[in-house]
Structure 1
Amino acid sequence: MSGVVEGLEGRVFTVLGAAGFVGQRVVSRLRAAGAEVFAPARGDPALWTRPLGHVVYAAGLTADYLVRPFDTVEAHVGLLARVLKEAQWESLVYLSSTRLYDSLGAVDAHEALPLRLDPGQPRHLYDLSKALGESLCHTQGQGRARVARLACVYEGAQDADGFLPSLLRQVMAAGAQPGAPRPAIEVPSSPSFERDYVHVSDVVEGLVHLALRGQHTIYNLASGENTSNASLFDGLGRRWACELRATLPAGPSEAPRIRIDRMREEFGWRPKGLHSVLDAMKETCP
């Protein structure tokens, strides 16, 4: 994105969840810029005794939240509540998710849109715990807490989890050899299914902006553009000379369209488009 944050030398940051996908990259970005970064392990008592500066709260569970419900609630709510109440912090950015909009259907999802969550749905355990964390930032953040609702964050085929990284690994492994027929990959999804994909480098820069300069409580960190499986499969197939076939039928899309006006207006947010990133990947990973 444009508007890279400058002047981080000597600034104090604390990254909770520093071992995670986003947290690791936040730590690397800050340290490379000369910031002083505290990346405590779970249970580190220093969290309660030293000034934390600007906190990036990246602790949480994603893929395994259903099998670890108590850990999910502790990470998304319990630890956050204690940090807000007991720790010494200058600002705090809480990583939430644009998944909170999913129950609203194909709407223009802006930050002030009321949510619709169902405690009776097991999948909504994740959403409800994130929403409660957001509520704590609203009510107990003393005007210094921000919420970053992240879309589908990716980097590349090396990512441990995720739909897109899994596809990238498959197409890179299956790409056709010269003169050979195009290999086919069956994907258990619908061609109509859509996601908003945002590159992790843009997310990291956005989080630093929010920590230092955010004026609102909630921000969508997304690309602002949904990519359908049909478009994704076509793009991957053309670049890596294979064919991806959806095994589920097409249908109307129910994906919300994530609005990023707030990030654009405050920080000149212009995240990289997915297909431009795929072009760059193809040049380096033929």
Structure 2
Amino acid sequence: MAARATIVGAAGFVGGRLRERLEREGVEVFTPAKGDQTLFERDLGVVYYCAGLTADYAQRPFDTVEAHATLVAEIAARASFERFVYTSSTRLYDAADRGSGDMHEDLPLALRPAEPRHIYDLSKALGENIALTQMTGRGGVARLSNVFGWRDGDPGFLSEWLVAARGGRALTLQSSPHIARDYIHVDDVVEALIAIVAAPEPGVINVAGGALTTNAELAAQFAEEGWRVTFTGQANPPAPPNADIARLRALGVIPRSVKDVVRGYLRTEALA
């Protein structure tokens, strides 16, 4: 593990957890605030780029482009660093041709410039391109699926569900039992980011659980442990594409099953 690291976006969910892990292992971690020009005046060591917008990208299109691509380009052009890992998203597969099964990292992406929602996809794809082509072989990309945790304030549907489980055994959720997602715990994401840095030529890596899990399946897990879960909706949208994680496994990172993680949580921390 490198002696020096920089986390862009250390105040966020993944970046904050990564910072904790690196500092526990004795790494000197620099966490620049937005607009900090010392980013271009010092040796950054290994850069973990965890900045980005998720829920509010449509309301903040220009901030989205800046966070996903503009600052990445500035770092590539002006900064001194050893390695660079860019956190992207498996959301880029949403419009891809699903006839080929699980989404492999080398599959072409289907991006539509006239689609407003694709400002997220296009800006992430541009950030990926800069990391892979403009950093003289020092850049890699981690495409993250649905990351969850259970600390107060951890974002995402499953995170909020797990936090709510500490407040009582009867839960009513504003969602549908039919919705499926590919979940990965934040600690497994951190493990993956560190492994990507150590890989000589990582390219693009899907950082995902590798399997879709429905809300109904998770609710059954909760029921086995003594919780009762009720959903307010019955929407049944098409399942999202599933990410192939063979490359992630080849790095030695084996994500834990979301059901196993949830079971362990309900038997321990949810009861504390």
Distance change (3 Å), C-alpha of 1:186 and 1:160: closer
**Could you tell me which of 141, 145, 155 is aligned with 1:151?**
145
Cα displacement (A) at 1:42: 1.4
| Structure 2, gaps ≥5 residues long | none
Partner of 2:164: 170
The aligned residue for residue 203 of structure 2 is 217
Q: CA deviation at 1:27?
A: 1.1
After superposition, the C-alpha distances for 1:183-239 in whole angstroms (9 at most, x for unaligned) are: 4625333x3321110011111111111123242310001111111122122222332
Q: Where do residues 181-260 of structure 1 align in structure 2 (5 Å cutoff)?
A: 183=170, 185-189=172-176, 191-245=177-231, 247-250=233-236, 253-260=238-245
Q: CA contact under 8 A between 2:148 and 2:154: conserved in structure 1?
A: no
1:244 positional shift:
2.2
Give the gaps of 5 or more residues in structure 1.
1-7, 176-182
The number of equivalent residue pairs is 268
Q: What is the RMSD computed on CA atoms of the aligned residues?
A: 1.8
Report what 2:249 is aligned to: 264
Q: Give me the whole-angstrom Cα distance separating, in 2, the residues matched to 1:42 and 1:136.
A: 20
Higher relative contact order (CA 8 A, sep 6+): 1
One-letter amino acid of the counterpart of residue 213, structure 1: A
TM-score (norm 2): 0.92
1:21 aligns to what?
A: 13
CA separation in 2, counterparts of 1:244 and 1:256? 26
Asked if 1:43 corresponds to 2:35, the answer is yes
The corresponding residue for 2:73 is 81
Kindly provide the CA deviation profile for residues 47-90 of structure 1, in whole angstroms up to 9, marking residues without a partner as x.
Answer: 11111111001111111111111111101011000000100011
| Alignment correspondent of 1:114 | 108
- Specify the code of the residue in structure 2 equivalent to 1:230: A
Tell me the TM-score normalized by structure 1.
0.88
Q: CA deviation at 1:240?
A: 4.1
State which structure, 1 or 2, has the greater radius of gyration over its C-alpha atoms. 1
Cα distance 1:43–1:271, how it changes in 2: closer, same or farther (>3 A)?
Answer: same
For residues 26 and 151 of structure 2, what CA distance do their matches in structure 1 show? 29
Conserved? CA contact 1:171–1:240, under 8 Å: no
